[in-house]
């Protein structure tokens, strides 16, 4: 049995920027502290929500170093080091491991669109090169390919591959992965709207966008489930479902940055080619946020 790298709510942290598009480290620290004080179980730094793809090498490394230092071991820090270039992925993964990250999040190689045997070679090459737990990340809507249950089964046999963040939205796939891999492979929801179904299938929690905005609620949702209070957990999921969906009215992290800005956290504009949220999108998002008393 593989012990999960974390159990519960893991916030996929945004990366805040200043007005002149530099990383706002003081605000980054404030947001990290807010998450920890709200009870989250882990933090992912420089993932999709953290706009890793538009951070240069120095910014990427500086974000990881800052977060690891700020968290100071209070919760696990998972570093987003995935890439469509296996050599570069290996370099960044080794850097994060040496810097003190507790684990690595590796997205499927985007654009290249390799085969399933290529995925196996890619992930095993990285897993052989570091001595840290790895969470795979399947999000076909952004990368153009997913991970099949049979590929998951093969990868689950490597001791450094701890599990996956499944963001395909395919509950049948998650069910088959749980059947094939059992407790030798952990599954986390990559969709805030599917936390409860994933937990019901034996999942270990969520890597969440929603918890940037509502960290306590997402953390409580998972904690209640594991405490056996499944009705209360499900009620919380149902109540927050509208906001979970609203945060994807436009490409992530456009809406979550708009939400945090409206809440008084000036996190800045997403980096191009992403832009500010449309006025129509903000109107819909803010209406949902008002229902939750997040903004006046």
User: Which sequence spans correspond to the domains of the chain?
Assistant: 8-228
- pLDDT over threshold 90, residue 34: yes
Helix (H) or strand (E) holding 79: strand 77-80
Give pLDDT, residue 22.
97
Three-class DSSP category at 84:
coil
Q: Which pLDDT tens digit goes with each residue over 249-272?
A: 999 999 999 999 999 999 999 999
- pLDDT over threshold 90, residue 10: yes
Give pLDDT, residue 217.
98
Three-class DSSP category at 23:
strand
Contact 36, 13 (CB under 8 A): no
| Span 216-244, average pLDDT | 98
Q: Which pLDDT tens digit goes with each residue over 211-229?
A: 999 999 999 999 999 999 9
Domain 8-228 in CATH 3.40.50.150: no
CA gap 153, 165 in Å, rounded: 15
- pLDDT over threshold 80, residue 37: yes
Give pLDDT, residue 30.
98
- pLDDT over threshold 90, residue 231: yes
Enumerate long-range contacts of 92-98, CB under 8 Å, 24 or more apart: 92/60, 93/126, 93/129, 93/130, 93/132, 94/129, 94/130, 95/61, 95/64, 96/64, 96/132, 97/130, 97/131, 97/132
Model confidence at 123, in pLDDT bands (50, 70, 90)? very high
Residues with a known catalytic role = 137, 165
Average pLDDT over the chain, rounded to whole?
97
Model confidence at 193, in pLDDT bands (50, 70, 90)? very high
| Span 125-144, average pLDDT | 96
* Nearest by Cα to 95 from 135, 58, 142: 58
Q: Phi, psi at residue 206, to the nearest 5°? A: -145, 145
CA gap 211, 221 in Å, rounded: 11
Give pLDDT, residue 286.
98
Residue with tokens 């085969």: 115
Give pLDDT, residue 1.
77
């Amino acid at each position: 049995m593989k012990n999960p790298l974390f159990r519960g709510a893991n916030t996929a942290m945004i990366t805040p920027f200043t007005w002149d598009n530099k990383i706002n480290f003081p605000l980054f620290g404030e947001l990290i502290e807010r998450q920890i004080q709200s009870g989250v179980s882990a933090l992912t730094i420089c993932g999709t929500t953290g706009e890793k793809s538009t951070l240069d090498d120095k910014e990427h490394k500086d974000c990881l170093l800052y977060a690891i230092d700020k968290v100071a071991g209070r919760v696990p820090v998972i570093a987003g080091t995935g890439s469509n270039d296996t050599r570069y992925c290996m370099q960044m993964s080794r850097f994060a491991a040496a810097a003190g990250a507790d684990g690595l999040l590796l997205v499927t190689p985007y654009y290249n669109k390799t085969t399933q045997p290529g995925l196996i070679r890619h992930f095993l090459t990285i897993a052989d090169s570091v001595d840290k737990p790895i969470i795979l990340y399947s999000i076909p809507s952004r990368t153009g390919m997913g991970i099949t249950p049979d590929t998951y089964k093969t990868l689950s046999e490597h001791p450094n591959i701890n599990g996956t963040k499944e963001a395909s939205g395919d509950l049948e796939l998650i069910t088959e992965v749980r059947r094939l891999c059992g407790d030798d492979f952990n599954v986390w929801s990559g969709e805030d709207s599917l936390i409860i179904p994933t937990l019901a299938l034996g999942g270990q929690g969520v890597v969440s966008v929603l918890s940037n905005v509502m960290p306590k609620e997402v953390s409580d949702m998972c904690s209640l489930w594991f405490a056996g209070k499944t009705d209360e957990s499900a009620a919380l999921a149902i109540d927050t479902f509208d906001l979970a969906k609203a945060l994807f009215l436009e490409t992530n992290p456009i809406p979550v940055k708009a939400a945090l800005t409206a809440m008084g956290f000036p996190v800045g504009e997403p980096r191009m080619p992403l832009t500010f949220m449309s006025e129509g999108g903000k109107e819909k998002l803010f209406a949902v946020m008002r229902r939750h008393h997040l903004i006046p």
